Copies of this chain bind each other. A is one copy, B any other.
């Protein structure tokens, strides 16, 4: 194809804005990451997304006119046909925002929207851990738990673009209340938020002494729980073991439903390492049905922060062909 031959991509998250400029083959030429201004509302964030993309362009020694299109991975729900983000739970107070049109006007370029977890699934499938898999399940475990599904090499979106809400698989009927309003979703049991909440309960009950001491200086997060566990806090070790086990039950449910070749798991909570990873894998392989687990691979995501944006590069690259 002639004309502009680079692609821009922006991953709009609940806590950060990440952008990059890349070749259609996924070679990153420049990138930028900044904490989100989401609490200030959509207008501030639109300006911030443009600012981040311009910073990525500068680092790549390119300008807006070198880009053929820009992909935006956004928290859902998204009306993909209308290009509208509708009341995203992870961006409270946003209402219904015609994100595609507003960003097209701002950038003077065609914009393609996609659900952030679907974009990350495509990223890991095209450029990351899931390369070559025909059927793949992608799960990200951070503040919340999200997912994306690859069927026959392509993103599976369901009737309204919401397929792969893997954080809201129920693994404990009548379990803790989830942000979605249901009880016992895996997000309410194994997300970073859930780990932090359970750790605070441990401290309140006089347990987890190493964590309790650390918590004097810092906020209790899943990362701090992992740090305390590595420093020898038995209660934090047991907590991560239990969370990993419950997550393994969710993995088994995904596996039994989708019979994928690969499950790719990303997100901040995987940084807890073997303390989380080992019970998750053990439980998956002990729980999924025999024919399902035969040939099934459980892999850690490889693209880190860039998964969603690289997924957008893959999506718009394909649409431009």
Contacts and interface: CB of A to CB of B under 8 A. Distances in A.
B257 A166 contact: yes
Interface in A242-258: 246, 249-250, 252-254, 256-258
Interface in A154-183: 156-166, 168-173, 175, 180-182
B287 A160 contact: no
Among A160, A256, A259, A286, the most chain B Cβ lie within 10 Å of the Cβ of A256
A242 to B, nearest CB: 10
Contact of A257 (B157, B164, B246, B261): B164
Interface stretch (A9-17, A289-297, A304-312): A289-297
Interface residues of A, number: 51
Tallying the copies of this chain within the complex gives 2
A175 B170 CA distance: 13
A259 B147 CA distance: 12
21 contacts: A77-B291, A149-B257, A158-B258, A160-B259, A160-B294, A161-B291, A162-B256, A162-B292, A164-B259, A165-B256, A165-B259, A165-B289, A169-B169, A170-B171, A170-B253, A171-B173, A171-B184, A172-B173, A180-B289, A254-B257, A257-B258
Q: Lowest 4 A-B CB distances belong to which pairs?
A: A158-B259, A163-B259, A165-B256, A77-B291
